Amino acid sequence: MVKEGFNPFHMAQAQFDKVADLLELDEATRDFLRNPMREYTFTIPVRMDDGTMKVFRGFRVQHNDSRGPCKGGIRFHPQETIDTVRALSMWMTWKCAVVDIPLGGGKGGVICDPHNLSAHEQEQICRGWIRQLAKNIGPLSDVPAPDVMTNAQHMLWMLDEYEHIHGAKYPGFITGKPVGMGGSLGRTEATGYGVVYTLREALKQLNIKTADTVASVQGFGNVAQYAIRLYNQLGGKVICVACWDQSDQKSYSFRKLDGINVDSLLSITDRFGGIDKNKAREMGYEILDGGAWLEQDVDILIPAALEHQITEENVNKIGKRVKVIVEGANGPTTPEADKVIAARNIFVIPDFLANAGGVTCSYFEQVQCNMNYYWEKDEVLSKLDTKMTAAFLAVSELARKKKLYMRDAAYVISVGRVAQACKDRGWV
Ligand code: NAD
């Protein structure tokens, strides 16, 4: 998904280059890490429900597997591009390394719009994606997962196709499966909860009580919904959420100054995280333009929709009261906006740390599949909390010690670990 003139892969590389300088990496290591190890682009022909054939484009990028099998989601999106997938696969490498799980980075996608596809057509795309890649992915090499506009059902179709091709059961081949079919309890909550575990620790360090804070959120999908739920449980209040309106092809912000209610909003939200604005108005929400979520008088901003949302153009609209930005989405903040945020001394919990709960729980799912023994939800979430908190503390301590911006500190830890693994293997 790329906005005109914006290339997320160039942004990921620019972020990497900055850290490569900080770490004084040699030329070969830089060259190796700023590019994916392997990329696959392919076609997926599908017989549509009306009998016609349509050809979709699919991608898989394996950025780095020095620390373990590649891991990363598959997105279905009409504006998907190879450069978005490259960027996201690179961010997955750093994400797995920052939470110190034994996995590398990968990402996949298909250019398609599930809004306009029947379940049967989506199943054919899933099976076609696997048929094109079955030899190049697997539980010991590259493990996919759901991402934007893909879910447990898509993963199950993909698993089924993979097992059909290989003639055996491989529950650890893919994560994000339905619970009871090899999925892990807690996976649905994991990313959003992980965002809030790190936020809770940041607020502790800033000596701010969560119950005294107010937040504004971009997105009302999986990550945002569970982040808001846990933040509410800790006493925080969300006054604004923004989401995409499919019929108007634009985004809106929904504001309720006495606090949004997740359950009632969910009753008027479609499965893509889009809120019905007429019903929301009836419920007492103010409907504002899509960018308004960023300009609210709040302590905390949680971008949890898409990349490239806080940019040079709008960064100065961030409210004066904002103290923490916790990035639920991947790549929501551009390097130019980062400079302004750093200068304002806003505490940033960078994407690949804040939203690492999803991949951490996916790793737990793989572990459970390999053992064929499944944990209770509380056990999963408590292990998740331990991992996320440890990762946050390591990053914030380095940031404090070396006086680094939080994003740079997270990068120093993760790029350092991956570069070391590549060196130890004799790759660079
Ligand atoms: P989702 O598809 O469930 O929800 C996305 C939300 O963003 C929806 O509410 C949608 O309406 C909204 N949105 C889309 N375009 C928008 C726009 N232009 N302006 C405002 N809102 C818009 O997706 P998700 O799983 O919640 O993922 C959200 C972000 O978090 C993505 O960047 C994803 O890569 C990242 N992420 C997700 C996970 C996960 O486990 N789901 C893990 C790590 C990172």
User: CATH no. for residue 350?
Assistant: 3.40.50.720
**What totals of helices (H) and strands (E) does the chain contain, helices first?**
14, 12
199 and 215 in contact (C-beta within 8 Å)? no
Tell me, what's the pLDDT at 326?
98
**Strands lying side by side in the sheet with 142-146:** 38-47, 53-64, 104-111, 70-77, 142-146
Residues 6 or more apart whose CB falls under 8 angstroms from that of 260 comprise 228, 238, 239, 240, 241, 254, 285
Q: How far is the CA of 371 from the centre of ligand 1 (A)?
A: 31
Q: How far is the CA of 238 from the centre of ligand 1 (A)?
A: 17
Portion of the chain with pLDDT greater than 70, in percent: 99
Tell me, what's the pLDDT at 271?
84
Structure tokens at 284: 């007492």
Taking CA atoms only, the protein residue closest to ligand 1 atom 1 is 221
Taking CA atoms only, the protein residue closest to ligand 1 atom 4 is 221
Cα–Cα nearest to 69, from 219, 159, 173: 173
User: CATH no. for residue 104?
Assistant: 3.40.50.10860
Domain stop point among 183, 217, 247? 183
pLDDT for 377 beyond 80: yes
Verify that 113 and 198 share a domain, yes or no.
no
Residues identified as active-site: 107
Q: Give per-residue pLDDT as tens, 61-76.
A: 999 999 999 999 999 9
Residues 6 or more apart whose CB falls under 8 angstroms from that of 70 comprise 62, 63, 64, 89, 92, 103, 104, 105, 106, 137, 141, 142, 143
329 and 304 in contact (C-beta within 8 Å)? yes
Tell me, what's the pLDDT at 384?
98
Q: How far is the CA of 217 from the centre of ligand 1 (A)?
A: 11
pLDDT band at residue 6, thresholds of 50, 70 and 90? confident
pLDDT band at residue 3, thresholds of 50, 70 and 90? low
Q: Which atom of ligand 1 is nearest to the CA of 176?
A: 40
Q: Is 293 in the pocket of ligand 1 (CB under 6 A)?
A: no
pLDDT for 246 beyond 60: yes
Domain of residue 168: give its range: 38-183
Verify that 229 and 161 share a domain, yes or no.
no
Tell me, what's the pLDDT at 314?
98
Q: How far is the CA of 425 from the centre of ligand 1 (A)?
A: 36
Residues 6 or more apart whose CB falls under 8 angstroms from that of 59 comprise 39, 40, 41, 42, 80, 82, 85, 107, 108, 109, 110
Hey, is 28 helix, strand or coil? Answer: helix
Q: Is residue 214 in some structural domain?
A: yes
Number of domains in the chain: 2
Q: Give per-residue pLDDT as tens, 147-199.
A: 889 999 999 999 999 999 999 999 999 999 999 999 999 999 999 999 999 99
Q: Give per-residue pLDDT as tens, 92-106.
A: 999 999 999 999 999
Query: What pTM did the predictor assign?
Result: 0.94
pLDDT for 53 beyond 80: yes
Q: What is the mean pLDDT of the chain?
A: 96
Q: Is 114 in the pocket of ligand 1 (CB under 6 A)?
A: no
Residues 6 or more apart whose CB falls under 8 angstroms from that of 209 comprise 203, 235
Q: Is 98 in the pocket of ligand 1 (CB under 6 A)?
A: no
Domain stop point among 125, 160, 183? 183
Q: How many Å apart are CA 360 and CA 351, to the nearest integer?
A: 14
> Ligand 1: which of 2, 147, 151, 241 to mutate, judged by most atoms within 8 Å of the beta carbon?
147
Q: Is residue 5 in some structural domain?
A: no
